[in-house]
Amino acid sequence: MELKDQINNERLPKHIAIIMDGNGRWAKEHGKQRILGHQRGVQSVREVCEACAELGVEYLTLYAFSTENWNRPLAEVTGLMTLFAQTIKKEMDTFFKNDIRLNAIGDLERLPESNYKMLKETIDATKDNKRMTLTLALSYSGRWDLMQASRRMAADAAAGIIKPEDITQDTIDNYLSTAGIPDPELLIRTSGEERISNFLLWQLAYSEFYFTPKYWPDFQKADLYEAILNYQRRERRFGKTSEQVTK
Ligand code: FPP
Cβ–Cβ < 8 Å for 131, 165 = no
Ligand 1 contact, 42 CB (< 6 A): yes
Separation of alpha carbons 200 and 178, rounded Å = 9
pLDDT at 235 over 80: no
Distance 242 CA to ligand 1 centre (A): 38
Q: Which residues, 6 or more positions from 26, have their beta carbon under 8 angstroms from its beta carbon?
A: 37, 40, 41, 215, 216, 217, 218
Distance 215 CA to ligand 1 centre (A): 10
Q: How confident is the model at residue 1 (pLDDT cuts 50, 70, 90)?
A: confident
What is the value of pTM for the model shown? 0.95
Ligand 1 contact, 24 CB (< 6 A): yes
Distance 38 CA to ligand 1 centre (A): 5
Ligand 1 contact, 225 CB (< 6 A): no
Ligand 1 contact, 38 CB (< 6 A): yes
**What's the confidence (pLDDT) of residue 79?**
95
Q: Which residues, 6 or more positions from 219, have their beta carbon under 8 angstroms from its beta carbon?
A: 20, 44, 47, 48, 190, 212
**What's the confidence (pLDDT) of residue 99?**
95
Q: Which residues, 6 or more positions from 43, have their beta carbon under 8 angstroms from its beta carbon?
A: 217
DSSP assignments along 52-94, one per residue: HHHHT--EEEEEEEEGGGGGS-HHHHHHHHHHHHHHHHHTHHH
- For 160-173, how does the pLDDT look when each residue is reduced to its tens digit (9 = 90+)? 999 999 999 999 99
Task: Report the nearest atom of ligand 1 relative to the CA of 39.
Answer: 11
